[in-house]
Structure 1
């Protein structure tokens, strides 16, 4: 029998399995409390130290198979679900003064929990959940033992544990959380494309980036093109001394897209398997990149901040006699502005820190 992971070493990767009723309904208060409690547990031993590799929280989503008659999850459903989960985690990390916590939301994609059985011992991973989840982890650990790997530790978090969100507490949301799309004539309602594009700096990959990348991966049937801005355009960015090298940013995007490959299987409009999505993660030196001249690209995904840039892409493609792109717009990280939860100074500060520039400024302060 292989040895269990050393009990005295705190985990650097904490896994939170969440089972939802469906992918078209919001997570429950229990789910969000579990996420907040897990972050508290993960950050408790570290204080404010910055670790390399960074401390990570992985939220693994599963849901019962929908009946053939049930409507499949749309890209808006996936966007809303990801926004809720990522925002809950990001806000809790900020409240604990650790905005560099790496958070990933992944979908099982029909693979059940087999991925847990393959996590290497060097990842120093542990799992949190309710008491009834221990039986499932016992099966995972049995498979890990057969693979010569140590057992994953399990920590029980009761429903009552964790800090509940206080009434009137500042919350984050995504501006335009209903999302939006501009279809080209004749393509109204399309939910999947052979080739989808997006672009950005993707510096210190944060929750806003990950929502953007996840929605793009959900929409892509065969190929996903992601342009990563060259450093020559970024020298004047706030906190530029902590800007990641281009190679690191490209590697981070590629690693994340590989991690979330299960999202590809959720879109019933795609018939390909999760392994069929080809990833083109390339450096770009302007706002257009491959969208300038690639006739195979059919759609582009951006944020409210970059929507005008997406429209400029179509203007250029029209000039070059190329097919125009459907434009998908997702929300950006911002304070909630609903009537029952007005935005506040704290929420404004949280939103600023979750941005790439906010993270760079935080790291600059740590480097002094």
Structure 2
């Protein structure tokens, strides 16, 4: 048992060690900067119950997911009302700022979305809950100890997630790894408990109902207007932040017309950096570095002797201020 645990720890360290070292250097903690509003300020059993329910509500729009809205009223409003009642019983404010991310400010049950940051998985959640229920009543599967342990780990992982992190509609995307990890669990439970025809039907249903997200993703659709085959790579970089596109393109023209090789970047209220780095290095390589930093990472620049752009030739400085860009 020790060997598998050691392997898991090595994998975790291999993936995260660089981040841990950076965080410890800057914030004296491997967990990163404190006070971001992304972790709960209060903890406890009731707080955990609240977090679990609010996170599950991100995947509550099962009616629209099954495309039954023409015959059944969507469940988002009902879910919101039920949560209000439950939180009244728990004595917890549904909109307690100590339990909600600053990015959200107010709790609500989101409807079905094809936007990648807020797209829920109602059908997948229903299948997971169904598989857990089937597991409890089908004692034949209980002999599969590995499956039981696997399921417990996933459930505990979700409980920890919901208990530690504040609620936000953008938590949907962070649930994705758990949904993926639950896939083999659901498949094994159903294949061992249900008739083959039912299992096949569920598999086909999931595949069919995924078409909306696969084909009509609101940011990068496969078909329709502005699909990925008709949009250039540069245009796709800016699909979620179009206000940056023309400014970045103009700055790249300015940099290259002046034959700058050493570029200093200053960001104000923005971190949309990747597209600019790609565009700057398209025609010839350049040295690019952040300057005039005002956050905690400033100490790393101060230690770097190469950060003094005043001593370099052909310098260009690009100032990015999101508040001055036109939407």
Same fold by TM (over 0.5)?
no
TM-score class, shorter-chain normalisation, is under 0.3
RCO higher in structure (CA 8 A, sep ≥6): 1
Q: Which has the higher helix share?
A: 2
Greater Cα radius of gyration, structure 1 or 2:
2
